[in-house]
Every structure is written in structure tokens, then in C-alpha cells.
């Protein structure tokens, strides 16, 4: 029985090899010509064998050639054209006529005053994303959710603090000095994307810009209009580009209830590399942070930490040199972001009337100690089709944003990174400086006063209460589109 089994196995292997060789022997060159509906050559059409990575492209005359076997399927695809599939038979020639994609032709974008136009008819470049893109990137800031999703649009974050403003430019800077921000238009109404901050000789606190108040869950589409031609729609304010936002409305039959809840955690991805062999000072000599020695005290080239040099810390206690390699790491907290959204929408009178009520609560605990953001969004939008050419839309939004522990900006003492990276020696125990703000609310931003007196250090510019908690009753409008 064992001998017979071996013979049968050998016979099976030989048969399998012969079958495989026969299959490969059937592979042949398939060629043909690809044209559009007018009969003109279709250049650059992608031809791929289904289920494989093997492919080719049609040349300037629409000709192509690819090796394949009978029974395999060729996939012909091109942007703006319907994808076609063709099974290979006995013929070595396959000609294809590409047809325009009707769905692509019907794509429209919103331009001025809620007017929808076919994208291909516009005389300027546009980029557009839909509500699904915001659902994938759950951010409290709508601008952060746009990163990497719009061509020609550069988005720069505000430095790691909660609620800090986010900079957006369309097709680069147009002015060396002055404002380069694009114009924001929400449901046909221009709004200001101004930045809120308090100034100071050494830098103030940044409370963010007004585009951050938009609830991402309320956005149906967001379109960026680029180029000088876009300014014709909104005037000189649109010279830096236009960001057109269309918010959601009630649609479909009956009542739709939507609820979503997300949670995210944040921590610093990577911190700078530091030396942990030498204490404060210069040229191997220890310098205390007082008087004329303050400049040398912020340097890291004093005696070796292993020497056990004695010194007095910021709390006035006698200590010996000890390395604290996790000085910066121990400063940061684990951040978290929670977003809860709820909406009710629907239609009546055979779809001629629509409504949508929404609310969203966002809570962001920052990675910087004591920093947090809380935002409440309430929205109501109702519309009615008065006639075939007359529609009315009413929309009102209430936004309440509170920021605690707003980050100080500037290049001097208030800047957090300046304090914890450029100022503190490697022998520093970060716990000595906690709590970051004294009970009386006074924040000390430098380890020494101007006269050289040693002080405790407060690394955050704590704002217990904003000058106004940013309560906004905005975007009240009655918009009639003819």
C-alpha cells in the first residue's frame, strides 16, 4: 500500500506540473485600441488584469499591449470615465470605447449664496470634501480635521496647547506682510476667522480663531475656491481664497435621530534628545542662577553630574547633582478628547419643509498640565420650498467655549518650550515647581527675577477665567435664494 501511494502521489505531481505548463503556454499578448465616444484616441487609460498587479496604459494613439491568458479579465479605467471589464477569449485583439461617467458629470459644488454649479464648468480650481471625511477624523477643531485632505491647502497647528489658533493658507502666501487667511462663508454668509488673544511684551495667551467654533458634525460639504477668479464671487476679501461651508439639513422621509460618541488619547510623540552628563554652568564651572551668573546657569556645560556637586535648589533646599533624564517627559500629562453629538432631523409636506436640530459637547484635556477646553454647540436649521424658484432657510447657532490654562506665546519667558527646554538644567526635579500656579493665582514665569533673585517657576500661563467666556449668538440669518 505504501508503494502504491507513492506512485499515485508522483503521478499527481507530474500531472499538476504538466497542467501548469499548459496554462502558462496559453498566455499571449493582448493588444487593441481605446477611444472615447467621439472616436478620438483615449490616452493614459489604465488596463489591469483583474486580481493581479500586472497592467499597462494606452499610448498617445490609444494603443495598448499586455500579456494575459484566456479567461482572465481586463479592467479599463480612467478618471471621469466609466470603468469597463472585458473577459479575454480566443481573440488577441480587444478594442474598447470609453464612456463618460454620468455620476461624475453630475457632481456639483456650492459657490456664492448657496448656488450650485457643475464643477467642470467653473473657471477656477476647487477642492471639496464631504461629511464622511469629518466623521473619520474626530477633531474638536474643524481645521485640524482638514489636514492632508485638500490639495493646495496648507494647515499649520498652533503649538500643542488646547484651543490655540490654526493657520490655513490656500496656494501659499500672497502677502509678505498682512493677512493671508482665506474668507469663510457658511451657508452663504461670510464670517470672520479672527484670532482671539491677549498681548504682552513677552507674548500673550492664544485663545484660538473663530473657525474652530464650527461643529464638524454639522458640515455637509466644505469647498475651497482657489485662484483670483474666485474673488469675483466675494470681492477683495476673497483674494486669499474662499472656504465655503454648507451645513446639513433635514432630508428623506420621517424623522432621523443620530448620536455619536468618540474618545481619543494624546501624548508627545517624540521629545528632543538631551545630554545628561553635565550640570548647569560653563567650562566645567558650576553657576547658580543668580546675579550675573544667570546666563551660565542656563547652560549645560558645568561640572559632571557624577561629581556630586552640592547646590541649593529653587525651593531653597541643599542638594547634590543628580541626573533627571525624564525631566521633560514627566512634565507632560496624558491628554484626552471626548466628543458627543446628537441631532434630530426630518421633513414634512412631501419634503418641501425640512428641519434639523443638533447639539455637540467637546471636552479636551491637554497634554500641558492644567490645560483644558470645553465647547458646547447648539444649532437649529429650518428651510421651506416656497415655489419652484424660491427657497427660504433659517439658521441659528449658539457656541460656548471655555479655555483653562491657555498657552503663552512669544519667544521669551512665557513660552512653555523655552522654559522647560532652554532654561531648566538637567539636574532639575520637575516636581519642585508643582503646583504650576500659586494659590493666589500669581504665575512666575522665570526661575529668576530681573534683579537675579531665585524664584519658583510657573511653566504655564494659567487663565482661570477668560475675559468673556466666548459665548456667541451668531449666524442668525434668513437666506432667500432665487
Q: What is the pLDDT of residues 469-482, one digit of tens each?
A: 333 333 323 333 32
Beta carbons within 8 Å of 48's beta carbon, 6+ residues apart:
54, 55, 74, 75, 77
Domains annotated on the chain, with CATH: 24-101 (2.60.40.1120), 105-247 (2.170.130.10)
**Per-residue pLDDT band at 254 (split at 50, 70, 90):** confident
List, for residues 332-347, the tens digit of each pLDDT value: 889 898 999 999 999 9
Q: Is the confidence at residue 380, as pLDDT, over 90?
A: yes
Distance between CA atoms of 161 and 165, rounded to whole angstroms?
Answer: 9
Strands (DSSP E) along 248-371, which ranges?
A: 255-266, 281-282, 285-286, 310-312, 318-320, 335-348, 353-365
> Which of the pair, 167 or 2, is modelled with greater confidence?
167
Strand partners, 238: none
Do residues 390 and 352 touch, judged by C-beta distance below 8 A? no
Q: How many angstroms from the chain centroid is the CA of residue 15?
A: 57
d(CA 191, CA 182): 11
Q: What is the pLDDT of residue 360?
A: 93
Q: Comparing C-alpha atoms, which of 332, 305, 330 is closest to residue 319?
A: 305
Assign 259 a pLDDT band (cuts: 50, 70, 90): very high
Distance, CA of 39 to CA of 98 (rounded, Å): 9
> What's the pTM value of the predicted model, to 2 decimals?
0.62
| CA 147 to centroid of chain Cα atoms | 3
Q: Which residues contact 12 (CB under 8 A, 6 or more apart)?
A: none
- The C-alpha cell at 54 is 500586472
pLDDT at 170: 78
Please check whether residue 344 is in contact with residue 357, taking contact to mean a CB–CB distance below 8 angstroms.
yes
Q: Are 129 and 146 in contact (CB under 8 A)?
A: yes
> What percent of the chain lies above the pLDDT cut of 90?
12
Residue with cell 493657520: 167
174, with CB counted inside 10 A (0-12, 13-18, 19+), is: middle
DSSP state letter for 391? E
pLDDT at 185 over 90: no
Mean pLDDT of 287-316: 69
Mean pLDDT lowest among 27-31, 187-191, 405-409, 436-440: 436-440
Supply the pLDDT for residue 342.
94
Cell representation of residue 403: 479655555
* CA separation for the pair 297, 292 (Å, rounded): 10
Query: How far is residue 417 from each of residues 195, 271, 477, measured CA to CA in Å?
Result: 22, 11, 43
Q: Rounded to an integer, what distance in angstroms lies between the CA atom of residue 45 and that of residue 401?
A: 51
Q: With contact defined as beta carbons under 8 Å apart, do 352 and 384 qualify?
A: yes
The single residue listed with the C-alpha cell 538631551 is 274
39: left (phi over 0), alpha (psi -120 to 50) or beta: left
* Cβ within 8 Å of residue 401, ≥6 positions away: 163, 208, 212, 213, 373, 374, 375, 376, 469, 470
- Taking only the tens place, the pLDDT of each residue in 6-51 is 443 333 333 343 344 444 447 889 999 999 888 888 887 889 899 8
Distance CA 243, CA 224 (A): 5
Distance CA 421, CA 154 (A): 28
Question: Do residues 443 and 461 touch, judged by C-beta distance below 8 A?
Answer: yes
pLDDT digits (tens, 9 = 90+) for 203-252: 556 667 777 788 888 888 888 887 666 666 777 777 788 888 888 988 87
- Alpha carbon dihedral 286, 290, 293, 294, in 10-degree steps, equals 100
Return the higher-pLDDT residue of 364 and 290. Answer: 364
Burial of 353 (0-12, 13-18, 19+ CB in 10 A): middle
Number of H helices, E strands in the chain: 7, 28
Distance (Å, whole) CA 389 – CA 480: 10
Closest CA to 183 of 165, 168, 203, 195: 168
Asked whether the predicted pLDDT for residue 75 surpasses 70, the reply is: yes
Cα end-to-end distance, the chain, whole Å: 90
- Place 155 in a pLDDT band, splitting at 50, 70 and 90: confident
pLDDT at 191: 79
Amino acid at each position: 500500500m505504501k508503494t502504491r501511494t507513492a506512485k499515485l502521489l508522483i503521478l499527481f505531481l507530474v500531472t499538476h506540473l504538466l497542467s501548469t505548463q499548459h496554462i502558462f503556454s496559453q498566455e499571449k499578448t493582448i493588444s487593441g485600441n481605446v477611444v472615447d465616444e467621439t472616436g478620438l484616441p483615449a490616452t493614459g487609460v489604465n488596463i489591469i488584469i483583474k486580481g493581479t498587479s500586472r497592467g499597462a496604459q494606452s499610448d498617445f494613439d490609444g494603443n495598448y499591449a499586455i500579456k494575459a491568458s484566456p479567461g482572465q479579465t481586463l479592467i479599463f479605467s480612467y478618471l471621469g470615465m466609466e470603468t469597463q471589464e472585458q473577459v479575454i477569449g480566443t481573440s488577441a485583439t480587444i478594442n474598447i470605447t470609453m464612456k463618460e461617467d454620468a455620476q461624475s458629470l453630475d457632481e456639483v459644488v456650492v459657490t456664492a449664496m448657496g448656488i450650485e454649479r457643475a464643477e467642470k464648468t467653473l473657471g477656477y480650481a476647487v477642492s471639496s470634501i464631504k461629511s464622511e471625511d469629518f466623521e473619520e477624523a474626530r477633531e474638536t477643531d474643524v481645521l485640524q480635521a482638514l489636514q492632508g485632505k485638500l490639495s493646495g491647502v496648507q494647515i499649520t497647528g498652533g503649538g500643542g496647547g488646547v484651543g490655540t489658533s490654526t493657520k490655513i493658507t490656500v496656494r501659499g502666501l500672497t502677502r509678505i506682510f498682512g493677512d493671508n487667511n482665506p474668507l469663510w462663508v457658511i451657508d452663504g454668509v461670510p464670517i470672520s476667522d479672527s484670532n482671539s488673544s491677549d498681548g504682552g511684551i513677552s507674548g500673550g495667551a492664544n485663545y484660538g480663531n473663530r473657525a474652530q467654533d464650527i461643529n464638524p458634525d454639522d458640515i455637509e460639504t466644505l469647498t475651497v475656491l482657489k485662484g483670483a477668479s474666485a474673488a469675483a464671487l466675494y470681492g477683495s476679501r476673497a483674494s486669499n481664497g474662499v472656504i465655503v461651508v454648507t451645513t446639513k439639513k433635514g432630508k428623506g422621509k420621517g424623522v432621523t435621530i443620530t448620536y455619536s460618541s468618540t474618545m481619543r488619547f494624546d501624548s508627545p510623540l517624540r521629545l528632543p534628545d538631551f545630554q545628561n552628563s553635565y550640570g548647569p554652568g560653563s567650562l566645567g564651572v558650576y553657576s547658580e542662577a543668580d546675579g550675573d551668573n544667570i546666563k551660565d546657569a542656563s547652560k549645560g556645560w558645568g561640572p559632571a553630574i557624577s561629581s556630586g556637586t552640592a547646590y541649593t535648589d529653587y525651593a531653597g533646599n541643599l542638594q547634590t547633582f543628580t541626573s533627571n533624564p525624564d525631566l521633560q517627559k514627566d512634565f507632560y500629562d496624558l491628554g484626552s478628547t471626548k466628543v458627543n453629538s446628537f441631532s434630530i432631523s426630518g421633513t414634512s409636506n412631501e419634503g418641501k419643509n425640512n428641519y434639523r436640530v443638533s447639539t455637540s459637547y467637546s471636552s479636551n484635556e491637554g497634554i500641558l498640565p492644567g490645560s483644558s477646553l470645553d465647547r458646547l454647540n447648539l444649532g437649529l436649521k429650518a428651510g421651506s420650498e416656497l415655489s419652484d424658484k424660491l427657497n427660504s432657510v433659517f439658521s441659528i447657532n449658539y457656541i460656548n467655549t471655555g479655555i483653562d490654562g491657555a498657552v503663552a506665546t512669544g519667544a521669551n519667558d512665557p513660552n512653555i518650550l523655552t522654559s522647560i527646554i532652554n532654561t531648566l538644567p538637567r539636574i532639575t526635579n520637575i516636581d519642585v515647581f508643582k503646583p504650576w500656579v500659586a494659590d493666589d493665582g500669581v504665575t512666575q514665569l522665570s526661575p529668576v527675577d530681573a534683579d537675579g533673585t531665585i524664584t519658583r517657576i510657573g511653566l504655564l500661563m494659567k487663565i482661570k477665567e477668560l475675559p468673556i467666556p466666548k459665548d456667541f449668538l451668531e449666524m442668525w440669518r434668513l437666506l432667500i435664494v432665487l
